[in-house]
Amino acid sequence: MTTAADRLAALAATAAECRRCALAAGRTQVVFGVGNPEARLVLIGEGPGREEDLRGEPFVGRSGQLLDALLRQELGVDRRQCYIANVVKCRPPGNRDPRPEEITACRPYLDGQLAAIEPSVIVTLGKFASQVVLASDEGIRRLRGRVHPGPQGAWVVPTYHPAAALRGGAAVVAEMRADLVRAKELLVAPAQ
């Protein structure tokens, strides 16, 4: 029987050779995802930045430090107890937004990750991830503050991107905290 870890490893091996979009030309490496293949909580960001491209792991720069702190403080978990991935697995040049064709090209990897892990709760970090996972064109301010039904029966909790929280200060961080508390509640007692 193949395990979630086996399925993720096979997908990561395919992604490592991926040339499905133009982002392949500029990457140092594919940043596939990190964490526990059996995690009940998956967090999804937009795409790797410079640090992530160099180190091969999502959210290892300043945004990642904030995310790690919030995970510890609000959920009492380390990043390796959950699973963290991005919508696009290769760094967009100059950290520009991923383009629709890049998101579409990379989509099978994200779908495959979610299908392998089968999380109970997905926290989407920022507008891009929230719109992609929820198939919505609404902005993050409208999407957050509610829980949405998501892929494979998971609950989706949209929140701000940690980079937006770093820019937006205490008020935005407080809203992110509230969203993570909601995610924790869903992990303990799934919504009806």
Kindly list the residues in this chain that would bind ligand URA in the complex (CB under 6 A).
45-49, 52, 58-59, 63, 86
- Could you tell me if 30 and 16 are in contact, meaning their C-beta atoms sit under 8 angstroms apart? yes
* Cβ-based nearer residue to ligand URA, 59 or 160: 59
Residue 50 CB, nearest approach to ligand URA (Å):
9
Taking the C-alpha atoms of residue 173 and residue 141, their distance in angstroms, rounded to an integer, is 14
* Cβ-based nearer residue to ligand URA, 47 or 150: 47
* Cβ-based nearer residue to ligand URA, 107 or 185: 107
- Could you tell me if 188 and 180 are in contact, meaning their C-beta atoms sit under 8 angstroms apart? no
